[in-house]
Amino acid sequence: MSLATFIGKLLLFGGAMVFGWYAGRRWRIGGTPQPRPASREYLAGLNFLVQDQPDRALEAFLRAVEVDRDTVEMHLALGALYRRRGEIDRAIRVHQNLISREDLDARQREQATYALAQDYLKAGLHDRAEKLLQPLSGGGAFRLAALKDLIRLYELQRDWLRAMETGQAMSRIGRPASESAQAHYACELATAALAGGSVDTAREHLRLAKNETKRFPRAALLRADIAILDGEAVEAMDWLRRVLEQQPDLAPEVLPRVRRAFAAGAAPAMVLDWLLKATPELRAHVVQATLLGDFLDMPMLRELTRTHLLERPGIGEVLRASLPTGEGLDDARLDAVCAALRKQARRSVRYRCQQCGFSSTAFFWQCPGCKTWDGLKPLTEIDVLLPAPR
């Protein structure tokens, strides 16, 4: 096997990546191979890793360290392997010992520090990990990796301001973080500001969100909240309409705000006109959200639901055939049909993450399972209401 193939195979193992660089360096120093006494065991360890035999690799690395206690790469290899096997305490001890040594060069110190930060992250020791990652994120070979780890860590801690600042630091080095994640951080901050009664601060955060991405339904929902607080019902309805147009499946988030916009003086007739002219998909999402959230007390949504049910192929035909001659779907019948459909819908979970399959009855902007933003999508619970998938 050529060296290039060997290294290529090695890179397949995420946990083994650190060794590749050292192995390459070891063999190329001075242009001629210069194996040290321990390298036979070390190479045997690498081979076992490539063959996905971590137990035998560990034995080989332990033997290698016995022979050559000073070699930094042996300890890095050993530490990474302990971490990979879930023996975090051991990994931490190995990396801490390494860092305490005075003979490390700058690169080795960075590498050992980053390795220890990974141990702390895996052990859930976030404060310690942060302390190590902060200086690494300021420059050097591990800068980008440290910034990415810090973002994940701040997300876990729900420290949205720091997550946003870290994203901005990534942009400054030409490796911008996800635009939508940055906008979500701004929206999280705006939500907290609104909850604390600081409307102006919320507006500031939303301006930041807009800088990140123009069409962002979550920010439009928050702008609707602010408009309602200001008594600007027409403006609020305008924002809510944009949300529905951009992302019809957010109807369950929109309708409670529609109710508040009406209480603040919005005109129902205008909204009904608009909804009746909307696409079948959008109307279906609104009707489904009306049923699930029980918004039938709003006359506009009640009328929309009535029309939609009667017009839908399938359920509409069944309903029309079951009505006494000359009679329509009156309020009592509509309520009974809706109650039956709601009962059917509530038996199932409402949202599922498209990335990891996490499911829940509550809606989350960020999936609690895999931390993907906008990963959760509503399931088509009331099939009879929605157009068949094309």
Binding site for Zn ion (CB under 5 A): 353, 355-356, 358, 367, 369-370, 372, 375
Enclosing H/E stretch for 239: helix 233-246
Length of the chain as a residue count: 390
Instruction: Please state the closest distance from residue 364 (CB atom) to Zn ion, in A.
Output: 9
Q: Which residue lies nearer to Zn ion by CB, 307 or 359?
A: 359
Q: Which residue lies nearer to Zn ion by CB, 142 or 358?
A: 358
> 94 near 80, Cβ under 8 Å?
no
Q: How far is it, in rounded angstroms, from Cα 385 to Cα 340? A: 13
Instruction: Please state the closest distance from residue 157 (CB atom) to Zn ion, in A.
Output: 19
> 304 near 276, Cβ under 8 Å?
yes
Instruction: Please state the closest distance from residue 188 (CB atom) to Zn ion, in A.
Output: 17
DSSP secondary structure of 311-378: HSTTHHHHHHHHSPTT----HHHHHHHHHHHHHHHHTS--EEETTT--EESS--SB-TTT--BT-EEE
Q: Which residue lies nearer to Zn ion by CB, 252 or 375?
A: 375
Instruction: Please state the closest distance from residue 185 (CB atom) to Zn ion, in A.
Output: 18
> 56 near 23, Cβ under 8 Å?
no
Q: Which residue lies nearer to Zn ion by CB, 130 or 374?
A: 374
Which residue type sits at 270? M
> 127 near 112, Cβ under 8 Å?
no
Which parts of 88-198 fold into alpha helices (H)?
88-100, 106-123, 126-136, 143-156, 160-172, 179-195
Q: How far is it, in rounded angstroms, from Cα 23 to Cα 388? A: 57
Q: Which residue lies nearer to Zn ion by CB, 15 or 369?
A: 369
Instruction: Please state the closest distance from residue 257 (CB atom) to Zn ion, in A.
Output: 26
Instruction: Please state the closest distance from residue 342 (CB atom) to Zn ion, in A.
Output: 27
Instruction: Please state the closest distance from residue 351 (CB atom) to Zn ion, in A.
Output: 10
Place of tokens 């109650």: 339
Q: Which residue lies nearer to Zn ion by CB, 290 or 366?
A: 366
Grouping H, G, I as helix, E, B as strand and the rest as coil, residue 197 is coil
Q: Which residue lies nearer to Zn ion by CB, 47 or 372?
A: 372
213-235 residues labelled b (16+ CB within 10 A) or e (exposed):
eeebbbbbbbbbbbbbeeebbeb
Q: Which residue lies nearer to Zn ion by CB, 269 or 362?
A: 362
Q: Which residue lies nearer to Zn ion by CB, 104 or 356?
A: 356
Q: How far is it, in rounded angstroms, from Cα 102 to Cα 92? A: 18
Q: Which of 261, 180, 176 is nearest to 213 (CA)?
A: 180
Instruction: Please state the closest distance from residue 354 (CB atom) to Zn ion, in A.
Output: 8
Instruction: Please state the closest distance from residue 357 (CB atom) to Zn ion, in A.
Output: 7
